Every structure is written in structure tokens, then in C-alpha cells.
A and B are shown apart, each in its own frame.
Chain A
Amino acid sequence: MRNQKPPLPTRFTLSTDHEPRKPSSSAGRMISYLVLSGVGMGLLTLLLVTISTFHPLTAALVYIVPIVISATTVGRWPGLFCALLAFLAINFFFVPPYGTLWVASFEDALRLGIFLGVALVVGELASRAQDRAVAARERAIQLNALYTLSQAVSAEVDLARILPTISTMTCTLLPIAHCRIVLVDAPPTAGEPLPLAAEPAPTATPPLAAVATRETVIAIVGSDQRPLAEIVLTQPHDQPALTHAEQETLHTIALQTALVIERARLVREAARAQTLAESDRLKTALLASVSHDLRTPLAVIKGAVSGLLDESIHLSTQDRTELCTSIEAETDRLYRLVSDLLEMSQIETGGLPHNTTLHDPGETIRTIVAQLRPRLAPHPMLLALPDDLPLVDVHHSHLERILTNLIENAALYTPPTAPIEITAHADAAALWVAVMDRGAGIPLALRDRIFEKFVRGIGPERHAHGSGLGLAICKGLVEAHGGRIWIEDRPGGGAAFYFTLPLHGGTKVYDATATANR
């Protein structure tokens, strides 16, 4: 045990105060016991003398009783004192010549001597037996307390709950006034503050400032010799130091505390490792998906081209046209995928172009719909736009992109002849746009996730088309302009995608990390 305070950084402390234990027998008590013994012996002697028919041997045996009683109930010294008093009493009152301390015959002297010896030995043995019984009882209580402590500790992983219990238990088991467990800050590998309350436990009992105190500090180290915590014990200055048995107890408590702290730490690290593993697994899966989506069109293009160049085979004109069509379609698909990936990358790193101008949303919507109509045929496209939509302050390509992605999505996930409706209106604060379809709708569970990267809806076309990024891009762009995007069910079936764009003074946030936290 070290008796100085080391300069370790402390993040968290717990303290429990306790009533100081009464010190064992003081001088005053001893004197009162001796007086009591004296009085008792006196009375007994009086009794025996009046019943003078007693043989000295009988008297001696009778005197043994108070000796044993005082040795076992009061203590060693009162017992011995009684023995001495008994010896004197017998000598004086029961051995001839009566009334003196002188012994006449040798036999009588022998008897007295033996009596004294036996009385002293009996007293000593009785008091020793009693001491041992008391010690055993105390030990049993301590062990019981330690067992209870280890039971409580084994179940608990939360340091904030278990450390106070340990503190309290320590105060109960040891003669100390105050126990504090101070956790050492975790080493750099943890990288985060300890998840425990920042303020110390309130001290309910009055401080011991008036009494000079002595502090004992126990350092607890982990299995890898890293310091974990300190137990700081405070005792009043006049109290004796801890006995060997108490030090052993303290050692056991320190060991338990070390185990608890280490276990809590391991549990935290295990949870973190699991999160990392899960996140890694996700990233690998996403990468595999993107890899597949990029390489497949390339495989088609390469195959078609090598086929067209192959002189050993004969391809009809129709075959050639078909191959060329495939090349064109797959090139478009690759282009879209690469653009989406780049755009998503821009959104995430805050690299979006910031220059916005005022646009008429009605005109933009009509233009986009006109562009998409032939491509998405035979889907009927229905517009319901008021004539007086206010101008919005956006980057021109963003609004186009949001609309394109939403409309294409609607076409992709609905039956070929299902209508797509686009409506818009404005209130004082924002422009509201809705793209609605008559498809299968989006299940409730998917509604939030569908705006995440690479999450695709359920449908027959899900694998062949789309990058899985379309809606994520919409969300990124809408939120970069300070708007919101969400999905609602349509009465009569289908999904309605709504988004808003603030009309004036909306906060534009071009850094996706800020939008992610909204």
C-alpha cells in the first residue's frame, strides 16, 4: 500500500462516507471492569465466609466460577485479576491461620499454589477461547460481506452502479471513515470519455474537515499492468492502522474492483468491435454491389464489340443492329451510374455547386416532363400545375435532377401503363411538389431507408436498372437547398413522393454532414 497521492488524472470519483467505528476497549472501561470484579469477588467472599462450613477446597472451586465468567465475558485481565483476588481471599479466609496471608502447613501452601496456577491457566484459556470465537465470528461476517459483494459484482456491468456498492461495502468491512474510488482515464485506444456521470456523488454526511485525517491510496492495475483506478481510504488520524486481516480484506476488494472495471471495459470494446465489423460488412456488400453494376454493362459492351469484330462468324444485319443497340443502351446505363456515383460523392463531400438563380418551377417541370415522356412511354404523364408558381432560388441542374430521378423512379417501379402524376403548389414559405404513381406503394418499413444509398425497392426491375442512388441523390439535393423530402400513401393505391423547397431565406446547407444530423 502506498501512502502518497500519485499525480494521475482523475475523470470520475465516487465517495461514500461512513460513521467511524468506535475504538475497542479504552482505559476507562478497563478500570470499571476491574472495580466491578473486585466488588463481585468481595460479595462472594462475604457470602462464603458467613456460610463458614465450607471446606477450603469447595471455596476454591466456587471461586473458579467468577474467574471463568469474567475471563469469557469481560476479558483477559479482569479474569486474571479475579484469579488473584480469589487466591488472596482463599488464603485469608479459608486457609489456617485464618485472617492472615500466612500459610502454616506445606499442604495448604501447595493447594493454594495449585489453585492459583489453575485459576490463572483457566482464566487465560477461557479468554483465549473467547477471543478466537469472536475473531471467527467477525471473519464470518467479513466473508459473508465479501461474498455478497462478489455476487453483486458478478452480475453488474455498469460501473456507475457497481462502484458505489463497492465503496459502501468497503466502509462496512473496514474501520474507515470515507472511501473513494477514482477511475483513471482510459488510455488513448479508447478514444472516448468514460460513460459515467460527470459530477461526484453528493456527500450527505458532514465533512471530516474538523478531524485530521490520514489517507491511504490503493492503486488498482489491470491484467496488462495498466493503472485502472485508485481506492482512497480516509481514516481519522488517531485511529490505528489497518490490521493484517483488514489489509487482506482490502486486497480482496481491490481485486474485485479491478475485475469489475476490466470487464466493463471489455464489454464496451466488444460492442464497439461488433459495430465496426457490421459496418465493414456493410461496406463490403455495397462495394460488391457497385462493382457488379459497373462491370456488367462493360461485359456486354465488350462482348458485343468483339462479336462485331469477329470475322469468323456471320452476323445478319438484324444481329448487328441488335448488338449495336445493346452497346448503346449499356453505355447509357454506365453513364448514368457513373454520374450518379459522382453526384453522390459531391453531395457527401460538400462539393455541390453553390451558384443559384431564380427559376420558374412550372417551366422546369414542364420541360423535364416533355423530355421524359417519350422515354418513359407508355406511362401517361399528367401535370397539374397552377399558373402562378413563385420563382425558386435553386441551382438549375438540381431541380431538374430531383424531378428526373423521382419521375424515372415512378416509371421504373410501376406497371408500364400506370399513370404518373406531377403536381405543385406554393404557400408563403415553400414550394411543394408531388410525384405520384399507381404502383404497389412503398411499405412502411422501407419509407425511411429507401432514401439511403443503394437501397432498392421491391419489384421485378430492381436489379436490371438504376444505381440504387437515385433517391439518395434527391434527398441530398433537396436538403442541400433547405427542403424536405418524404413519401406518403395514396388513397387508391400507389406512392406519393413529396418534396419542398424554401422560397426565400431558407437555410442552404451544402455540407452533407450537417444535413445528416438533421
Chain B
Amino acid sequence: MMQPRLLIVDDEPHMGRMLRTILGAHGYAIQIATEGLDAVEVAATWKPHVIILDLGLPGLDGFEVCRRIRRWSEVPIIVLTVRDADQAKVTALDLGADDYLTKPFSVNELLARIRVALRHAARRPNQPDPILTFDTLTIDRARRRVTNEGVEIHLTPTEYDLLLVLAGNDGKVLTHRMLIRAIWGDNTEHDLPALRVFINQLRRKIEPDPLNPTFIITEPGIGYRFRLAS
């Protein structure tokens, strides 16, 4: 696509300037909003491809901005938080944010997350490819077959569902709640311990070294992230 548009929502002037300079040098078109209300306005008029949102906004806070934008747009939102605010991250993700970064972050990480977000956004309108490939792991969604280096792996229905949700959102963080909901629905009694059990089972089946997972990455306190497709 021609110059992807990034909306940066942060009230710190130096942060905005720094991101504009560097992300601009990477070929993105940048606009900066320093207030929540402005952010919602610019999101509606300028139609950015990705929004980078600081949760610590004064006035209309980051959560509210997220909520409001999500009412009418699926635009990917990456939130910036401080490390200790686990609950804030989970809340933001549950409100519709797609990913998060903790300050201080490396710009390369930010760039990677932006790329993931753009890729997922681009996929949605098209017919998704039934075959997902991650290094040696192949998932054929049409035939419900999972193979690693050509050898078929037998997964229980729940394990398969879990793998699909993770792999279908590769590169993006998924909260525990999102995963539980995706597999078992809304009114389920399954909770975090149950999820962990299935994650471990899945890891044992697909990871070359289950104790040092490379496919299913744990995001402590938040959820899990599947590695990027190759």
C-alpha cells in the first residue's frame, strides 16, 4: 500500500517528535494527537491504518479512546503502557486493542508490532489462505490437518481449536479471556488453570522443546502470543 498512515496519541511532546522522526524515516505518514478527543476526531477523518495509543493520557483516558473508536472501526490499536500496569494492559486488550508495548520500548519492537497489525488488517477482507505455515509446522484448515516436518500430529478438538485461534492471530497477543471465550464461548466455567492445561498439552505436541517454546510464547500476566508465520 502507499504510505501507511499512523496516528500517534501521546501527550508528551518529545515522545511525539521522536516517533514522528523515526517512524517517518521508515516510510510512514504520521499524525500526532495530544488529547483523547482529538485522537477520536483524527481517527475518523484521517482514517489511519494503525493507531499507537498511550494509555496514560490526561483527560479522556486511553481506555475511553479505545472504546469510542472501536464502536465504529476495526483499525488496529497498539497501546503503550508502563510495565507494572498488567491490569491496564488486559483491560485495554479486552476493550479492543490489538497489542501492547511497555515503556521504555525499542523502536524496532514497535515497528515489528506495526507490521503485524498492518498484515492482519490487510488479511481480513480477503479470502484467508487455508494453509498456514510456521517454519516446519503446517496447518491445513481445509482438511483439519496439522503436520510438523511432514509428520501428522493428532490433536484433540479443543487443542485444534486453540491452535487455530493462536495461529490465526499470529504475532498478536491474545489475553487469557479472549482465548477462553474463543474456544469455549461466553458462559463457560473454564478458567485460567484449564487454559494452561491445554496450552501445555499443545506445546508438548507441537514444540520441538516444550520447555523453551518457540511457537506459543507466554506473555506473563496477559496471555499468549503465537509466533509470526513464515
- Bitwise, A292-322 to B at CB < 8 A (1) or not (0) is 1001111111111011001011110001001
Contacts of B83 in A (CB 8 A): 291, 295
Do the beta carbons of A296 and B105 come within 8 Å of each other?
Answer: no
State A315–B106 Cα separation when bound (angstroms): 17
Instruction: Indicate whether A130 reaches chain B with its CB closer than 8 angstroms.
Output: no
Do the beta carbons of B18 and A291 come within 8 Å of each other?
Answer: no
Instruction: Indicate whether A46 reaches chain B with its CB closer than 8 angstroms.
Output: no
> Which listed residue (B11, B15, B25, B85) contacts A300, Cβ 8 A?
B15
Residue of B nearest to A291 (CB): B82
Contacts of B13 in A (CB 8 A): 464
Shortest beta-carbon distance, B106 to chain A, in Å?
A: 5
- Bitwise, B3-35 to A at CB < 8 A (1) or not (0) is 000000001111101110110011000000000
Contacts of A288 in B (CB 8 A): 82, 84-85
Contacts of A307 in B (CB 8 A): 18, 21-22, 25, 107
State A322–B20 Cα separation when bound (angstroms): 11
Instruction: Indicate whether B123 reaches chain A with its CB closer than 8 angstroms.
Output: no
Do the beta carbons of B19 and A303 come within 8 Å of each other?
Answer: yes
Instruction: Indicate whether A266 reaches chain B with its CB closer than 8 angstroms.
Output: no
State A295–B81 Cα separation when bound (angstroms): 9
Instruction: Indicate whether A408 reaches chain B with its CB closer than 8 angstroms.
Output: no
A-B contact count (CB 8 A): 83
Contacts of B103 in A (CB 8 A): 295-296, 298-299
Instruction: Indicate whether B128 reaches chain A with its CB closer than 8 angstroms.
Output: no
Shortest beta-carbon distance, B25 to chain A, in Å?
A: 4
Residue of A nearest to B57 (CB): A463
User: Which of A323-331, A430-438, A494-502, A509-517 lies at the interface?
Assistant: A323-331
- Bitwise, A472-500 to B at CB < 8 A (1) or not (0) is 00000000000000000000000000000
Contacts of A315 in B (CB 8 A): 21-22, 25
> Which listed residue (B12, B17, B25, B106) contacts A302, Cβ 8 A?
B106
Do the beta carbons of A313 and B22 come within 8 Å of each other?
Answer: yes
Residue of A nearest to B22 (CB): A307
Do the beta carbons of A304 and B104 come within 8 Å of each other?
Answer: no
Shortest beta-carbon distance, B29 to chain A, in Å?
A: 15
Do the beta carbons of A304 and B26 come within 8 Å of each other?
Answer: no
Contacts of B107 in A (CB 8 A): 303, 306-307, 310
Do the beta carbons of A319 and B21 come within 8 Å of each other?
Answer: yes
Do the beta carbons of B82 and A292 come within 8 Å of each other?
Answer: yes
State A247–B12 Cα separation when bound (angstroms): 76
Shortest beta-carbon distance, A312 to chain B, in Å?
A: 8
Do the beta carbons of B85 and A304 come within 8 Å of each other?
Answer: no
State A101–B107 Cα separation when bound (angstroms): 131
Instruction: Indicate whether B108 reaches chain A with its CB closer than 8 angstroms.
Output: yes
Do the beta carbons of B18 and A326 come within 8 Å of each other?
Answer: yes
> Which listed residue (B25, B104, B105) contacts A319, Cβ 8 A?
B25
Interface SS of chain A: helix, strand, loop or mixed?
helix
Instruction: Indicate whether B208 reaches chain A with its CB closer than 8 angstroms.
Output: no
Residue of A nearest to B59 (CB): A463
Contacts of A330 in B (CB 8 A): 14
> Which listed residue (B11, B17, B80, B106) contacts A463, Cβ 8 A?
B11
State A508–B25 Cα separation when bound (angstroms): 57
- Which B residues between 165 and 192 are near A, CB-CB below 8 angstroms? none
Most chain-A Cβ atoms within 10 A of its Cβ — which of B11, B18, B107? Answer: B18
Do the beta carbons of B84 and A303 come within 8 Å of each other?
Answer: no
State A454–B42 Cα separation when bound (angstroms): 32
Instruction: Indicate whether B56 reaches chain A with its CB closer than 8 angstroms.
Output: yes
State A28–B146 Cα separation when bound (angstroms): 111
Shortest beta-carbon distance, A293 to chain B, in Å?
A: 9
A295-B83, A313-B26, A319-B21 given as contacts; is B104 within 8 A of A326 (CB)? Answer: no
Shortest beta-carbon distance, A340 to chain B, in Å?
A: 18
Shortest beta-carbon distance, B109 to chain A, in Å?
A: 9
Do the beta carbons of B21 and A302 come within 8 Å of each other?
Answer: no
Instruction: Indicate whether B130 reaches chain A with its CB closer than 8 angstroms.
Output: no
Instruction: Indicate whether B58 reaches chain A with its CB closer than 8 angstroms.
Output: yes
Do the beta carbons of B22 and A303 come within 8 Å of each other?
Answer: yes
- Which B residues between 57 and 106 are near A, CB-CB below 8 angstroms? 58, 80, 82-85, 103-106
Do the beta carbons of A310 and B17 come within 8 Å of each other?
Answer: no
Do the beta carbons of B21 and A322 come within 8 Å of each other?
Answer: yes
> Which listed residue (B11, B14, B58, B80) contacts A326, Cβ 8 A?
B14
Do the beta carbons of B104 and A301 come within 8 Å of each other?
Answer: yes
Contacts of A297 in B (CB 8 A): 14
State A44–B69 Cα separation when bound (angstroms): 109
Contacts of B21 in A (CB 8 A): 304, 307, 315, 319, 322-323
Do the beta carbons of A304 and B82 come within 8 Å of each other?
Answer: no
Do the beta carbons of B26 and A302 come within 8 Å of each other?
Answer: no
A313-B25, A326-B17 given as contacts; is B11 within 8 A of A303 (CB)? Answer: no
State A174–B26 Cα separation when bound (angstroms): 93
Do the beta carbons of B12 and A464 come within 8 Å of each other?
Answer: yes
Do the beta carbons of A314 and B25 come within 8 Å of each other?
Answer: yes
Most chain-B Cβ atoms within 10 A of its Cβ — which of A291, A300, A303, A310? Answer: A303
State A395–B182 Cα separation when bound (angstroms): 65
> Which listed residue (B11, B17, B82) contacts A295, Cβ 8 A?
B82
State A85–B208 Cα separation when bound (angstroms): 117
Contacts of B11 in A (CB 8 A): 463-464
Shortest beta-carbon distance, A475 to chain B, in Å?
A: 25
Do the beta carbons of B58 and A303 come within 8 Å of each other?
Answer: no
State A307–B15 Cα separation when bound (angstroms): 13
Do the beta carbons of A295 and B104 come within 8 Å of each other?
Answer: yes
Q: List 23 A-B contacts (CB under 8 A).
A: A288-B82, A295-B82, A295-B104, A296-B12, A296-B15, A299-B15, A299-B104, A302-B106, A303-B18, A303-B107, A303-B110, A304-B18, A307-B22, A307-B25, A307-B107, A310-B22, A310-B107, A310-B108, A313-B25, A314-B25, A323-B18, A330-B14, A464-B13
Interface residues of B (CB under 8 A from A): 11-15, 17-19, 21-22, 25-26, 56, 58, 80, 82-85, 103-108, 110
Closest 10 CB pairs of A and B: A307-B22, A299-B103, A299-B104, A313-B25, A302-B104, A298-B104, A295-B103, A326-B14, A300-B14, A306-B107
